[in-house]
Structure 1
Amino acid sequence: MVILVDVPLASIHAAVPEGRPASSTITEAGPGISLPQLLAGSAVALAVLLPMALALGWYIAGRFLQPLRAITATATVISAGDLHRRLDLGEPTDELTELGHTLDDLFARLQAAFDAQRHFVANASHELRTPLAGLRTLLEVTLADPEADIDTLRSACQEALALGEHQERLVQALLALATSERGVTRRETLDLADVVEGVLAARRVQAVAGGVDLAERLTPAVMAGDRRLIESLAANLVDNAIRHNHEGGHVHVATRTSGGQVTLTVSNSGPVIPGDQIERLFQPFQRMAPERHGHRDGYGLGLAIVNAVTQAHHATLTAGSRPEGGLTITVRFDPNLP
């Protein structure tokens, strides 16, 4: 301010008015402001403006930094375990409030993820505890029987082995779900028709034993993905279609390429499923009521694994109930997506 204001004003003192002869000696004050007066006035102005500028800057900075303080305080509370807290910065809309809204969305997704994790762990603990409790009861009853003979002990051992196999299959299903949710770690070019054909070949005996007709219409469908996960997806779809069926029922499996997309469709007969129950079936440990299909061979993880593999490949999953009973599930893979 001194350079830009004082110097031009000080030059007025040295100017000579028009019509007055120049003199080498100035004996009286000319028009303008003397330099000492100008400097003194500037010093007073600086002394007055500096505190005002500091106070105004402090106030404005505080207003702008208030959302940051709210973000920091709320993040501290959330990190302590309270995932239900939100920033709720409100108006006015600026860069910081937009950041706050983005963080609120992030906190909501984190809360949903943690809730789903707790729900999954609780269900997994329940599913694992049931066969363990049955195994313990079986052994205790057998050991408490003073008249137990070799046949009784052999029968108890066979039941214990069956319970152990049940636990092993459940653990394998949990590992498959965890692997699917981890995402795609490697990609290779594969023909979906070849993968599905191998899955069907390994399950024809199971279908014949259940009285289910297994039909296929496989056309070449080349795509890129994790072969192991794609095989798991197809296997769980076919297993689910065979398991939740009835004697004399059918399962139709088709692969094709249409509109640049690779499609896998599995349609099966079975019990009538309400439309509002379909989405729930793709969550872990969700089954239809036992009276609808008469058994509980599954663990409620098959369609959850299908959903996880679909999301890992950025594919599209659609499912619909058939009026005559059963489901039609279609998975569409986009080769252009990573």
Structure 2
Amino acid sequence: MRAMGTQAAAWSEQDLDRRFDPGSGPLELRELSATLNGLLERIAAALRHERNFTAELSHELRTPLAHLHAEADLLTPGEPLHAQEIDNLLTSIRRLEGLVETALVPARIDHNAAPGLAPVSDALEGLRAPATAKAELVVTGDPGIVLAVESDIVRRALTPLLENAFRYADQEVRIDVAARDGQASITVSDDGGHLDPEQAERIFDAGFRADPTDHHPGAGLGLALTRRICRAAGGDVSAQVVNGRTVFTLVLPSL
């Protein structure tokens, strides 16, 4: 058993693809082998996730950085900036700021500290339909429900869901709020019906694009960040198709 512990520690640092043979040795050691293999697999999965997330985040950050670089190359020293040039620069800067802030949210959540409290209404404040959206935003339920999560964290989790909903909605995007047994559910749905039920789980994978030909900017990172934020805060997010509507359900701890 001591040798197996030493071997598992070495593999966890140098060779996470190695596993014990669960069919050899006495019953007690076979059970220990299965337990250690499970631990090694979880460590390997976590590292794969972090590498994938980091790669996708790097890819996503390169786009606004490339835009900034291109805009800077077009500037002429000594000449005033035109309004469109300023707007292009600010757009890329805001996108960078949003990506960095959203990516850092899970790291800022400390489960050992007292949780921040915020009514859902605070988290929804400022979340509106884009100026170019053809759909209307409707909010139902009790926005006074108090979440055991800071409003900024909830807002950053909701933003990719709303962006996705408005992108595909025909006439309506709906936010429904409810709470029960210490958990609040915030559902974001649209009447576009574009989600393939078979992709309802895959859309949360970093880098996955349900429709790579839709010409939407980005590398498919938004929904992955939403799930990462929710799970770091003690909740989760899921997607499904209900009566022709695409429905995202965000669950977070509440009072």
Q: TM-score range by the shorter chain?
A: 0.7 to 0.9
Between the aligned partners of 1:220 and 1:156, the Cα distance in structure 2 is 40
CA distance in 2, matches of 1:220, 1:158: 34
CA distance 1:93–1:275, change in 2 (3 Å): farther
**Alignment counterpart, residue 216 of structure 2, candidates 261, 276, 295:** 295
Contact kept? 1:221, 1:262, Cα under 8 Å: no
2:20 pairs, out of 55, 76, 87, with 87
Q: Per the alignment, in what secondary structure is the counterpart of residue 328 of structure 1?
A: strand
Aligned to 1:203, what secondary structure does the other structure show? Answer: coil
Question: What runs of 5+ residues in structure 1 fail to find an aligned partner?
Answer: 1-66
Letter in 1 for 2:240: G
Query: Residue 308 of structure 1 corresponds to which residue in structure 2?
Result: 228
Q: Secondary structure at the match of 2:177?
A: strand
Tell me which of 71, 92, 100 is aligned to 1:163. Answer: 92
The aligned counterpart of 2:162 is 238
Whose Rg is larger?
1
The Cα of 1:142 is off from its aligned counterpart by 4.8
C-alpha spacing 1:258/1:136, structure 2 compared with 1 (3 Å) = closer
Q: Quick check: 2:172–2:190 contact (8 Å CA) kept in 1? A: yes
Q: CA deviation at 1:153?
A: 6.9
Q: Percent identity?
A: 27
Answer whether contact 2:56 2:221 (CA < 8 A) is retained.
no
Distance 1:216 1:153 in 2: 39
Match of 2:136 among 178, 195, 213: 213
Q: Does residue 279 of the first structure (1) align with residue 201 of the second (2)?
A: yes
Unaligned runs of 5+ residues in structure 2 are: none
- Give the TM-score of the pair, scaled to structure 1: 0.61
CA contact (8 A) 2:237 2:250 kept: yes
Note the C-alpha offset of 1:103: 1.6
Partner Cα separation in structure 2 for residue 335 and residue 142 of structure 1? 50
**Partners of 1:107 and 1:234 in 2: how far apart?**
34
Name the residue aligned to 1:110. 43
Residue of structure 2 equivalent to 1:329 = 248
Q: TM-score, normalised by structure 2?
A: 0.78
Distance in 2 between the 1:88 and 1:231 partners? 47
In structure 1, distance between residues paired with 2:101 and 2:35: 38
Of Structure 1 and Structure 2, the greater helix share is in 1
SS in 2 for 1:264: strand
Question: Would you say 1:125 and 2:53 are equivalent positions?
Answer: no
